[in-house]
Amino acid sequence: MGRFDYDLIVIGGGAAGLVSAKLARGLGKRVALVERGRLGGECTLYGCVPSKTLISAARTAALIRNAPKHGLDIEGSRGIKTDNVMTRVRSVVEEVYRGHTPEAIERLGITLLFGEPAFKDNHHIQIGDKTWSSKNFLIATGSSSFIPKIRGIDSAPFFTNETIFGIERLPSSMIIIGGGPVGSEIASAFNSLGVGIDLVHKHVRILNKEDPELVDILSSKMREEGVRLRTSCKPVAIRREGGGIALEMEDGTNSATLRAEAVLIAAGRRPNIEGLGLENAGVQYTPRGIRTDLRLRTSAPNIYACGDVVGPYLFSHMAEYQATVAVRNAFLPFQKTADYENAAWCTFTDPELARAGLTEEEARDRYGERVRVYRQAYGGTDRGKTDAADVGMSKFICYRGRLVGAHMLGAHAGELIHEAQLAKSLGIPFHRLYEVIHIYPTFTDVVKYPAKLCYIDRLKDNPFLKVLQKFL
């Protein structure tokens, strides 16, 4: 046993914490993982896994309702019963959780410590009545739902993403406060499953950080399917009313009251930093999270942090990326900095909205008018026609022939974006994707056709070909 009990103590057993602990253990380090609840974290228990299972059920329901678009008639149907949807959601969560059980983690040689940790100094933490020491620490405590200040919120029942998947049956109606990724996904899914939805959002558009052109298409689709989008509205008061909830809201000039059986608050996230005793360890933080440099090192040189507690992107895949950077810097001689230029994500509405890199507006602000934009509507592809999946568009933003942004709204957008993400990350000129043989008929035409337009532009801009054309 060395000077310390461990080489690394990881605080938090979610995506970032599990990746960090496993990687450090793979490097031969003595590792302990501290968790106050169940292993798996937000993504497994309350986020990615349950929400995507719910969304899968919603898409199946939508496909059944849209059977006539495919030439099918369903005879003798009494409608779609959703009684078992949430049971199915929880069963999938448990199935995924089996890969993160304490027994599975301990078999890797990682010590598990359960309880509420607090730093005594930058090398010691206390859990209950025991103190543990480590050469290095990694904080990966994640985030929790942010509850906005609304009059009456303390006495009115509401759901968050941490509680909504525990319900036994779907409500008949729901008010969702917040039109970010969580609110928009659940609004889309619940609406497809027959829940009346009012989505209240303070900005002009839902998903206000995404490409406005594609968000407008998505918003129109959601409205057509029955979601009531209350944008530019601020909730001011909430109360119980009968067997449901009443929400008062304002849009700057007018006020209105919405009523529903239930309310979901999806108004953002807050970092989990309370009770950690960060001051004792010399770790600086703000209300937005723990401060780190690009090596994911905090103001205490032996303490690293990653995931939602750091940001700036609150996604599990970004947490995993940060975890590999942090562990590498803690134990290997060659330091690596986190590079967020190639961050990518997807909002799993119906249809999906995926993004990699800059929006058109951001690109023009950075590079000026030399930016070129290439688009392709899903309805203009043969596969979009065969699958009756004609809603959506791909949009590629290039500067000097290379991708600086890619955006997709449509079927399988979260999968299709990876071809553009690969080209962008590896610095492959966008036109080169047209030279790749794409299988026909597939949705990859929403990448191939814009790449073809870029290829044509490249030919037009070639000075040798310009001269040659004069003699042809």
Question: Which are the contacts of 84, defined by CB distance < 8 A and separation ≥ 6?
Answer: none
**Is the torsion defined by CA of 300, 301, 303, 306 positive or negative?**
positive
**384 a known binding residue?**
no
Residue 238 forms beta bridges with which residues? 247
Residues 404 and 359 in one domain: yes
Residues 176 and 60 in one domain: no
Residues 132 and 13 in one domain: yes
Residue 155 lies in a domain: no
Indicate which CATH number applies to the domain containing 381: 3.30.390.30
pLDDT digits (tens, 9 = 90+) for 73-122: 887 766 889 999 999 999 999 999 998 899 999 999 999 999 999 999 99
Residue 343 lies in a domain: no
Residues 276 and 263 in one domain: no
**142 a known binding residue?**
yes
Task: Quickly count: other Cβ atoms within 10 Å of residue 301's Cβ.
Answer: 10
What's the confidence (pLDDT) of residue 468? 67
**75 a known binding residue?**
no
Q: Residue 168: which of 181, 176, 177, 159 has the closest Cα?
A: 159
Place 472 in a pLDDT band, splitting at 50, 70 and 90. Answer: low
**179 a known binding residue?**
yes
Q: Which helix (H) or strand (E) holds 248?
A: strand 244-250
Residue 339 lies in a domain: no
Range of the domain at 119: 6-145+270-331
384-391 long-range Cβ contacts below 8 angstroms, 24+ apart: 384/410, 384/411, 384/443, 386/441, 387/411, 388/66, 388/69, 388/70, 389/351, 389/443, 391/217, 391/221, 391/351
**394 a known binding residue?**
no
Domain end point (choices 216, 242, 268): 268
Residues 261 and 276 in one domain: no
**52 a known binding residue?**
yes
Is the per-residue pLDDT at 417 higher than 90? Answer: yes
**251 a known binding residue?**
no
Place 332 in a pLDDT band, splitting at 50, 70 and 90. Answer: very high
Residues 81 and 62 in one domain: yes
**210 a known binding residue?**
no
Residue 403 lies in a domain: yes
**10 a known binding residue?**
no
Strands 255-260 and 244-250 turn out to be antiparallel
What's the confidence (pLDDT) of residue 204? 96
Residues 16 and 141 in one domain: yes
Cα gap 11→24, rounded to integer Å: 13
pLDDT digits (tens, 9 = 90+) for 1-35: 569 999 999 999 999 999 999 999 999 999 999 99
What's the confidence (pLDDT) of residue 463? 77
**155 a known binding residue?**
no
Residues 359 and 456 in one domain: yes
pTM assigned to the model: 0.94
**308 a known binding residue?**
yes
Residue 285 lies in a domain: yes
**172 a known binding residue?**
no
Residues 28 and 138 in one domain: yes
Work out how many domains the chain is built from and give that number.
Answer: 3
Summarize the confidence of residues 209-238 as an average pLDDT. Answer: 97
**209 a known binding residue?**
no
Indicate which CATH number applies to the domain containing 112: 3.50.50.60
Residues 29 and 114 in one domain: yes
Residues 280 and 133 in one domain: yes
**109 a known binding residue?**
no
Residues 263 and 281 in one domain: no
